[in-house]
Amino acid sequence: MDYDTIIIGGGPGGLAAAYTLADEQRVLVIENHWWGGTCPNFGCDPKKMLYSAVEARDWSARMTGNGLVGIPDISWPRLMAFKRSYTSGIPGGTKTGLNQAGIVTVDGKAQLVDAHTVTVDGQNYTADHIVIATGQTPTMPDIPGVGLLGTSTDFLDLDQLPRTMAFIGGSYVALELANIAATAGAEVHLIVHSDRLLRAFPESAVKTLIGQLKQKRIQIHENVSLTEVKAVGDQVKLIADDFELTVYRAFAAMGRSAVTDLNLDAVGVAYDHKGIHVDNHLKTSVDSIYAIGDVIAKTQPKLTPVSSFEGRYVAQHILGQTDPIQYPVIPTIVFSATKVAQVGVSLDEAKQDVTRYQVVTNNTTPWYTYNRIKDPIAQTTTIVDKTTGHLVGAVVVSTLADEMINAFTGIINQKLSSDAVNRQIYAYPTPISDLSYYY
Ligand SMILES: Cc1cc2nc3c(=O)[nH]c(=O)nc-3n(C[C@H](O)[C@H](O)[C@H](O)COP(=O)(O)OP(=O)(O)OC[C@H]3O[C@@H](n4cnc5c(N)ncnc54)[C@H](O)[C@@H]3O)c2cc1C
Ligand SMILES: NC(=O)c1ccc[n+]([C@@H]2O[C@H](COP(=O)([O-])OP(=O)(O)OC[C@H]3O[C@@H](n4cnc5c(N)ncnc54)[C@H](O)[C@@H]3O)[C@@H](O)[C@H]2O)c1
């Protein structure tokens, strides 16, 4: 065999597997687009580069009249240059890092040949194990004129901010990018094919977020299923039954589909439209082939830290560890006109079993932490399992929800009692130093 392990896909999942294996194995990673994958090139990280200015502007707006005078404008071209100052170094830096760790890299589209062989541009490579980590790509609607729609990747690299734009979808990508565009000064529309945004989050939290989106003058069009897109001069017309909207740019944000064009059928790797099937060791239907990250069919959310966790797990398994994968609780968060985050037992589940779960919601808007930054809305819900007294779930809506949800995640995973939390001394005044008021 040429290698011990071949990894197809140089995103967070593939990289975590490669680095974990590198000390003990001959590892080859194959990437057909940008080294680093979706997250640092056209996902989480560039989005948050843009959020640096969006959050600063929002913070300034809140403090206007409270010590600040005037709200700064966002210069889109300068913000984009700031984003590119980060993203332009990712593919090269990622590849160099791999090579410096002794990992061999090949550029090109990999296809499976058999259970131990991968081919790239006519060159075959063999290994004892193959790890598929090919991620997902944006799902596009099957309607006439679909070619006129952009994707999140296009939005995150726009040279100029269109004066008017629409996002088709009502989940993470639509709500996060719509808020960036609206805060930067565009007229923004959300086209949602149902009457429920962010289905994975509690309805009450989503309602609060919608209120904040409306404050940003984002227009939400519910129950609209597009049937066609047409070019009208330099604009696009979005058409549905009893609905028409003409904007400069429109972006599909309707989910993402697993990248499975790898000759899987011929090799016998089972998959469906949700992704590649794996067992509880992340092994596919072919003994020597594993799959990790966004490309697998799973109930866990498809997120960067989940892909990395699976990458590290599969590497340890290949190196001889035999335990099945066990996921900790996984926090999810939407970065938008405010932040909505949740972890652990869901609010719906807790409300259905009131004899077991105690649900407490605090309106923290007047608390010192949130008053100091003039957060317009801050709410935290904690869910405690009455049988153990332990925190098992939390929902946070606020500007600081990212920090708080990570703190709750640690408490839940470590099964810390409320006494244990109260025995800590946290730096004060910080969001985390409020922990003892919640639990
Ligand atoms: C706009 C946006 C914002 C996001 N924000 C967040 C966020 O805030 N937090 C978060 O946790 N997650 C976020 N995500 C999701 C996150 O980006 C993904 O969960 C993560 O990148 C998945 O990692 P992965 O390694 O499984 O796949 P990917 O990062 O997609 O990497 C797969 C790699 O495989 C390569 N590949 C595919 N086919 C082949 C082939 N045949 N041969 C060789 N290479 C191939 C691809 O080019 C790609 O580089 C966001 C996603 C998007 C689109
Ligand atoms: N903050 C984060 O962690 C973050 C941010 C962005 C993306 N992501 C990840 O990226 C992935 C994709 O996110 P997403 O928001 O694109 O999709 P999603 O899978 O979360 O939701 C898809 C959305 O598209 C809508 N939709 C589906 N079919 C449609 C149709 N025919 N017409 C109109 N709308 C339709 C759905 O109702 C839903 O609102 C997710 O896996 C998510 O985990 C995560």
Q: What are the pLDDT digits (tens) for 380-410?
A: 999 999 999 999 999 999 999 999 999 999 9
* Residues contributing to the annotated binding site for FAD: 48, 294
- Ligand 1 close to Cβ of residue 45 (< 6 A): no
The pLDDT score that the predictor gives to residue 139 is: 98
**CB neighbourhood size of 70 (10 A):** 8
Q: For the residues 44-49, what does the mean pLDDT come to?
A: 98
* All residues at 6 or more sequence positions from 233 whose CB lies less than 8 Å from its CB, including other chains: none
Distance 138 CA to ligand 2 centre (A): 9
User: Mutation test of ligand 2: which of 256, 336, 402 has the most ligand atoms closer than 8 Å to its C-beta?
Assistant: 256
The pLDDT score that the predictor gives to residue 252 is: 98
- Ligand 1 close to Cβ of residue 44 (< 6 A): yes
User: Mutation test of ligand 2: which of 155, 171, 193, 274 has the most ligand atoms closer than 8 Å to its C-beta?
Assistant: 171
Query: Six-digit token pair at 423?
Result: 């025995």
The pLDDT score that the predictor gives to residue 281 is: 98
- Ligand 1 atom with the shortest distance to the CA of 156: 1
User: Mutation test of ligand 1: which of 19, 35, 39, 154 has the most ligand atoms closer than 8 Å to its C-beta?
Assistant: 39
pLDDT tens per residue across span 246-273: 999 999 999 999 999 999 999 999 999 9
Which among 273, 272, 291 has a CA at the least distance from the CA of 281?
Answer: 291
User: Mutation test of ligand 1: which of 134, 154, 171 has the most ligand atoms closer than 8 Å to its C-beta?
Assistant: 134
- φ, ψ for residue 426, nearest 5 deg: -100, 150
Distance 275 CA to ligand 2 centre (A): 15
- Ligand 2 close to Cβ of residue 255 (< 6 A): yes
pLDDT-based confidence at residue 220 (cuts at 50, 70, 90): very high
Q: For the residues 146-157, what does the mean pLDDT come to?
A: 98
Please give the distance of CA 222 from its chain centroid, rounded to a whole number.
23
Distance 419 CA to ligand 2 centre (A): 39
Distance 9 CA to ligand 1 centre (A): 9
* Contact between 398 and 392 (Cβ < 8 Å): no
CA distances from 246 to 94, 163, 240, 290 (A): 40, 12, 12, 46
- Ligand 1 close to Cβ of residue 13 (< 6 A): yes
- Ligand 2 close to Cβ of residue 334 (< 6 A): yes
Distance 390 CA to ligand 2 centre (A): 32
pLDDT tens per residue across span 171-217: 999 999 999 999 999 999 999 999 999 999 999 999 999 999 999 99
pLDDT tens per residue across span 86-117: 999 999 999 999 999 999 999 999 999 999 99
Nearest-angstrom CA–CA distance, 149 and 243: 17
The pLDDT score that the predictor gives to residue 94 is: 98
- Ligand 2 close to Cβ of residue 256 (< 6 A): yes
Please give the distance of CA 144 from its chain centroid, rounded to a whole number.
29
* Residues contributing to the annotated binding site for NAD(+): 169-176, 255
Please give the distance of CA 259 from its chain centroid, rounded to a whole number.
17
| Shortest-distance Cα residue to atom 27 of ligand 1 | 135
- Ligand 1 atom with the shortest distance to the CA of 310: 26
**CB neighbourhood size of 362 (10 A):** 15
pLDDT tens per residue across span 6-26: 999 999 999 999 999 999 999
* All residues at 6 or more sequence positions from 328 whose CB lies less than 8 Å from its CB, including other chains: 409, 413
Which among 292, 298, 294, 305 has a CA at the least distance from the CA of 402?
Answer: 305
What are the chain's domains? 2-137+257-318 (3.50.50.60), 146-254 (3.50.50.60), 338-437 (3.30.390.30)
pLDDT-based confidence at residue 56 (cuts at 50, 70, 90): very high
* Residues contributing to the annotated binding site: 48, 169-176, 255, 294
Go through the chain and tell me how many residues it has. 439
The pLDDT score that the predictor gives to residue 335 is: 98
* Contact between 238 and 250 (Cβ < 8 Å): yes
Quick one: what percent of the chain has pLDDT higher than 70? Answer: 100
ipTM over 0.85: yes
Q: What's the pTM value of the predicted model, to 2 decimals?
A: 0.98
pLDDT tens per residue across span 335-361: 999 999 999 999 999 999 999 999 999
The pLDDT score that the predictor gives to residue 115 is: 98
pLDDT tens per residue across span 72-81: 999 999 999 9
